[in-house]
Structure 1
């Protein structure tokens, strides 16, 4: 495992990505934007308050806003970081050189995946001190912050592996990126639209409670899972009605975990061309 994770591919990508002035400026502007957003939110809430106070329930609203902004950042940036890592090497005609080294397909795929998402993970971790501003006003526990951070990391790995998958199978970077963003859009806006349709169909049939179809659709939507973390009562009726002990977030982690494992194995198998000789 040490040779898989600590390999020349990963070390080279780390040096190229973190020694760039663009990475430092990007991280700085991102944190500055979050700080300005928090200060602006507090200022507007205090202006609208009769006594000029910032209450704990308003602090919770600010935390929810930051959580969805972070999730939107992940869903928007992760496909762009990973959808061209293999196809880009192929277009630059450096993939064959990489394949002639002693590195296995597993170490190359995992090295590319970890190096691609490492910058995004750094942005998420660097924003944790900004979240501490929320604790000054109350309304949020440290457990909620840790849960959000854990789900951010899981989401980055899932959508990063999807980008690596298309980048390995498709030769053109632009097509790989379109496919990756298409799947991301399907798992966010697409599943949200299907969930609304399923709820409407359920009400048209005279049933006031959602069924298994709505549950299966909701468990594939990361935005709904984040909402279930922040507001647990929103989807409680959905899980209670189908008589299941599996929470919505657990179903999401289980299904996405299996999908990530399968497509990562497929990416590893399809990285190197087939060397079988037909007789």
Structure 2
């Protein structure tokens, strides 16, 4: 197991990424921006409140704002970090040298993926103390905090696997990154629009006694925003169950489906990394 995750590719990429002072300056400015957003949000809620202090519901609203902001950060940065991990090596003409090493294709792909998202993981972990301020006002449980951070890491892995796959299949880095951003945009915006339309159709044309709209459920389960909203508002999942007639938890369907997609994208990446080489090399 150690050979897969602590390999020379991963070690080299981590050293190159974290030896630069710009990396830690980026973390500093991100934490400052997040802190300013939280302070501004608290100030607005406090000045608009007739009693002049926070309610648990307002603290919960602030946490939801930070959680969706973090999800947007993951969806915006991850394609840029992973969309060129293999194609950039090909453009620098260093991929052939990398493939002549004793590292397997799986080890190279996993090392590139983990090293690319490691910076974003560090950003999320570094923001934990800021999120802990929410507990001072109540309204949020530690379980919800853990669910939000696990969901952010899982979404990062999903988008990152798409980025590695496109970077392996497409020779040009710019084209690969644009394709990864397009896939991320469809996962967020496209599935949301499709889900909204199908749920409206199910609400209008389905039988009032028994709803049956599996297409609306399948489109909704791929949307990370809907699943994140379900963490805070269980009524979201209940409404989807009532409209589609499917009682299976949408968060479980989301994780299962994307775990399958992650396995498929990484398999495609591994198989196409040495596409032009003879078998056995």
TM-based fold match above 0.5 = yes
Q: Is 1:212 aligned to 2:219, yes or no?
A: no
Structure 1 residue aligned with 2:273: 271
Q: Is 1:58 aligned to 2:62, yes or no?
A: no
Query: What are the within-5 Å matches in structure 2 for residues 152-171 of structure 1?
Result: 152-171=152-171
Structure 2 Cα separation of the partners of residues 43 and 202 of structure 1: 42
Structure 2 residue aligned with 1:82: 82
CA deviation after TM superposition for structure 1 residue 241, in Å: 5.1
Structure 2 Cα separation of the partners of residues 276 and 126 of structure 1: 45
> Contact between 1:210 and 1:238, CA under 8 Å: does it hold in 2?
no
CA deviation after TM superposition for structure 1 residue 230, in Å: 1.2
Instruction: Please list every run of at least 4 consecutive aligned residues from structure 1 whose deviation after the TM superposition is greater than 6 angstroms.
Output: none
The SS at the match of 1:101 is coil
Structure 1 residue aligned with 2:226: 224
Deviation by residue 1:60-81 (Cα, 9 ceiling, x = unmatched): 0000000000000001110110
Structure 1 residue aligned with 2:124: 124
Structure 2 residue aligned with 1:235: 237
Structure 2 residue aligned with 1:247: 249
How many residues are paired up? 277
Structure 1 Cα separation of the partners of residues 212 and 137 of structure 2: 37
> Contact between 2:213 and 2:245, CA under 8 Å: does it hold in 1?
no
TM-score of the pair, normalised by structure 1: 0.95
Structure 2 Cα separation of the partners of residues 43 and 204 of structure 1: 42
Identify unmatched segments of 5+ residues in structure 1.
Answer: none
TM-score of the pair, normalised by structure 2: 0.95
CA deviation after TM superposition for structure 1 residue 242, in Å: 4.6
Query: What are the within-5 Å matches in structure 2 for residues 104-143 of structure 1?
Result: 104-143=104-143
CA deviation after TM superposition for structure 1 residue 240, in Å: 4.5
CA deviation after TM superposition for structure 1 residue 213, in Å: 1.5
Identify unmatched segments of 5+ residues in structure 2.
Answer: none
